[in-house]
Structure 1
Amino acid sequence: MARPGAACPPPARRVMVAARALLFWALVYSYCGVCACIAGLRLLWSIGRRPGETFRWVVRENPPACLNDPSLGTHCYVRIKDSGLRFHYVAAGERGKPLMLLLHGFPEFWYSWRHQLREFKSEYRVVALDLRGYGETDAPPHKENYKLDCLIADIKDILESLGYNKCVLIGHDWGGMIAWLVAICYPEMVTKLIVVNFPHPSVFTEYILRHPSQLIKSGYYFFFQMPWFPEFMFTLNDFKVLKSLFTSQATGIGRKGCRLTAEDIEAYLYVFSQPGALTGPINHYRTLFSCLPLQHHEVIMPTLLLWGERDAFMEVEMAEITRIYVKNHFRLTILSEASHWLQQDQPDIVNKLIWTFLKEETKRKRE
């Protein structure tokens, strides 16, 4: 008889691993089914109340003027040799200045960094990227092309294609997830890391399994595992879900924040209402569970984590836990009246906090 605590023989270990994997995927797809049922009920409710409005979809052929505002920078493209993909970005500030690379979240695109493009171009070459599958960047058709390894490699390749070997890296939401992983995998390329409303990936994956409240808030991660249906739900009522994310009382920018203008909202609607424009972004989530578990890697560069306490999608407790994974100077600032969309919600405060962090680190290096 095997002693308690003794190592399991290889066949038993394989059975345990297989059983654990089966349980994991059963949970993923069970919760996916629950989320799909809720979405289906909402669809039926919408059809019952306003059948004529439910499937209305306005065709937007021309971009709003704000997307071509010259004060934001220049629209540029770069093609990556290894993947063959063409990436779109907006750049402000002179070439040759230190690079500040901005990674947006979901459902956003380069425009979510408009306040930072204007602010930091005086001392940096500021580049706001459209991530793989978003906006004017190429969108590979297969979901396997959106695995985390591909997304991390994109940032490394773009950095090199722009003629840089290091940068100040800033990410929000899903872009924050990518920023953390780039900093872990390529620490020599990141001089300073700034993340907005996303914890260290290991914190997120551990916390969500132990806290049902965060599991519920992250329900869209599971809903997005379904083919085509999530994209369809976004289009209902002329992309009402998209508008609500930024403007509703529950998830949007609050009364004290810098609310999106009608033209800002139209910019988001223009980009995501293009045919097939939602599939690439949602494919980022469709590969996430196959990449788990994430390794417990540490971050070794100075790190600033900014957090809106009214975030409807991420519990603030994860922000403080993140500290244990940063083996360098770590600063956490929580803004009590701010939402998930922090860099758009409180741009002046966010910009000031970033400037303070960057200048503190420069001074610390000199000393």
Structure 2
Amino acid sequence: MTEADVRFEKIPLPTGVTLNTALAGPEDGPAILFLHGFPESHRTWRGLVPLLEDHYRLIMPDQRGFAASDAPQDKDEYSTDKIVADLFALVDRLGLDDFTLVGHDWGGAVAWAAALRGDPRLTRLAIVNAPHPVIFQKSLIEDADQRAASQYITAFRTPGFEQAVEAMGWDTFFAKGFGDYVERGLISPEEKAQYLADWTQPGVFTAMLNWYRAAAVIVPPPSVTVPLPDFLLKAFPKVKVPTLVVWGMNDKALLPIQLDGLDTLVDDLTIVRVPDAGHFVPWENPQAVAAALKPFLELAKRA
């Protein structure tokens, strides 16, 4: 993503935060709103912009707590309802009559929640390596491999984790999360520098971790038996909008078990598996994500 591809606007919202928002493509094109996850920014979508900007209006905010957007420090400011409220407040500010919502990682979690609101402006949903809340919570309790893979959530929630990262060094933290991608040439020195600059702004890393600390998801310790939460024992509302799920099958944090049973929770579901990518498939293989999105978006234009 280059400065020539995008323009930026700081958009104040009635939810109390200002979101730094990257914009690309024609303003009269069909709108796609992209939501990134941890530990990223609007740059999650850097590989998709040149593949989609000719025909679509691309809206890519830094979500609250990340990069150049506001980063309130209170954990309660990161509850799902407040973040979903940011999304629809941004839709209001931009005057969107209809839009496709695309979410990766935490952005996908917000996108699932937004789709369940039933707002008629949200006409299509695309999820990229982000689990449905029912399947994720169930897998954390019943699947030993997913539970083990998710223990990092408990670490992120631990008081003082920020200080532990500072003590180990930001380069070490970066290497633990992204070292393999650097070795494969998928993250340039310039990209790494941008990550570190974003994370080390005063208060930003705490704000990023607050997404985990405010989440209701239960992550049991290994080998501990816990009961299923009440919401898993009741009928859960279905997602009604047409939904595309793109999944990098080499994801080590969110295992492919997250695809099992999705068809019982989504009325109109398409799943595209990307065998040669992992969790960060939007920039590991943006061509595959775009190839899945384009026919899905074309169906929306014909509807």
TM-score if structure 2 supplies the norm length? 0.89
Q: Who is 1:8 aligned against?
A: none
Q: Is residue 233 from structure 1 mapped to residue 160 from structure 2 by the alignment?
A: no
CA RMSD of aligned residues (A): 2.0
Distance 1:359 1:246 in 2: 34
Per the alignment, residue 77 of structure 1 pairs with: 10
2:109 is matched with 177
Contact 2:51 2:287 in 1 (8 A): no
Residue in 1 that maps onto 2:260: 320
1:136 to 37, 52, 68: 68
> What count of residue pairs does the alignment treat as equivalent?
289
Runs (5+) with no aligned partner, structure 2: 219-228
The CA deviation at 1:87 is 0.9
Rg larger for: 1
Q: Work out the CA distance in 2 between the residues paired with 1:90 and 1:299.
A: 28
Note the alpha carbon deviations across 1:85-116, whole angstroms, 9 max, x for none: 11111000122322110100101111111122
Q: Is the 8 A contact 1:183 1:189 kept in 2?
A: no
Task: Indicate the SS of the match to 1:247.
Answer: helix
Please point out which of 184, 192, 198 is paired with 1:271: 198
Question: 1:21-100 maps to which residues of 2 (within 5 A)?
Answer: 69-81=2-14, 83-100=15-32
Change in CA separation of 1:290 and 1:346 when aligned onto 2, cut-off 3 Å? closer
1:227-306 map, 5 Å = 227=159, 229-235=160-166, 236-248=168-180, 252=181, 255=184, 259-289=186-216, 296-306=236-246
Please state how far the C-alpha of 1:254 moved relative to its aligned partner.
8.4
In structure 2, what is the Cα distance between the partners aligned to 1:346 and 1:75? 25
**Structure 1 segments unaligned to the other structure (5+ residues):** 1-65
Q: Deviations over 1:296-329 (max 9, x none)?
A: 221111111011111010110211322211112x
Residues 185-223 of structure 1, C-alpha deviations (whole Å, 9 max, x = no match): 134121111000012111111111101211111112222
Using the size of structure 1 for normalisation, the TM-score is 0.74
The 8 Å contact of residues 182 and 188 in structure 2, kept in 1 or not, is answered as: no
After TM superposition, give the deviation of residue 144 of structure 1 in Å. Answer: 0.8
Aligned identity (percent) is 27
More helix by share: 1
- C-alpha distance in 1 between matches for 2:145 and 2:155: 16
Cα distance in 1 for residues equivalent to 2:126 and 2:279: 15
The alpha carbon displacement at 1:293 in A equals 5.9
Are residue 102 (structure 1) and residue 102 (structure 2) matched? no
Whether contact under 8 Å (1:107, 1:281) holds in the other structure is: yes
2: distance between equivalents of 1:289 and 1:192? 26
SS in 1 for 2:9: strand
Alignment match of 1:163 (pick from 95, 104, 124): 95
Query: Given that residues 187 and 301 in structure 1 are in contact (C-alpha distance below 8 angstroms), is that contact kept between their aligned partners in structure 2?
Result: no
